[in-house]
Amino acid sequence: MNNLANIYSKEGNEKEAIKFYLKAAEKSNPLALFNVGNYYEENKNIKVAKQYYSEVLHVLKEYPDILKEYSASDLETETMNRLLYLENNFDEDAEAE
């Protein structure tokens, strides 16, 4: 589902993309969780973005072998970088919920 969402996203159909990212995220797909976090970050919903990025790190910690399955060796580092960026640059209380 994450791959299908990527196709919709590349076509500019964000409504369909987020629908499929969310479905994949429900199954703890770390790439989908990251993509949902990115979607919310781009739409200035920092609080929700941080929740999804935190969930990525939780899934990777609980299931370390999942990185091989998803070929996402840099996912943990990129997720941590996104969280640090949001923590340092945004006041989530001032953002949309």
Closest by CA to 87, choosing from 46, 48, 55, is: 46
pTM of the complete model beyond 0.85: no
In 3-state terms, what secondary structure has residue 72?
coil
- Whether 87 is in a domain gets the answer yes
Closest CA to 92 of 52, 39, 51, 46: 46
Terminal Cα-to-Cα distance of the chain (whole angstroms): 26
Residue 15 lies in a domain: no
Q: Considering the domain boundaries, does residue 16 fall inside one?
A: no
Torsion angle of C-alpha atoms 89, 37, 61, 20, degrees rounded to 10: -170
**Dist. CA 65–CA 91, nearest whole Å:** 34
22 found inside a domain: no
**In-domain check, residue 5:** no
Tens of each residue's pLDDT in the chain, 97 residues:
988 999 999 999 999 999 999 999 999 999 999 999 999 999 999 999 999 999 999 998 888 777 666 556 688 888 999 999 999 998 766 555 4
Residue of 13, 16, 37, 14 whose CA lies nearest to 25: 37
Domain coverage including residue 85:
28-94
Say how many domains are in the chain.
1
Specify the DSSP element, H or E, that contains 29.
none
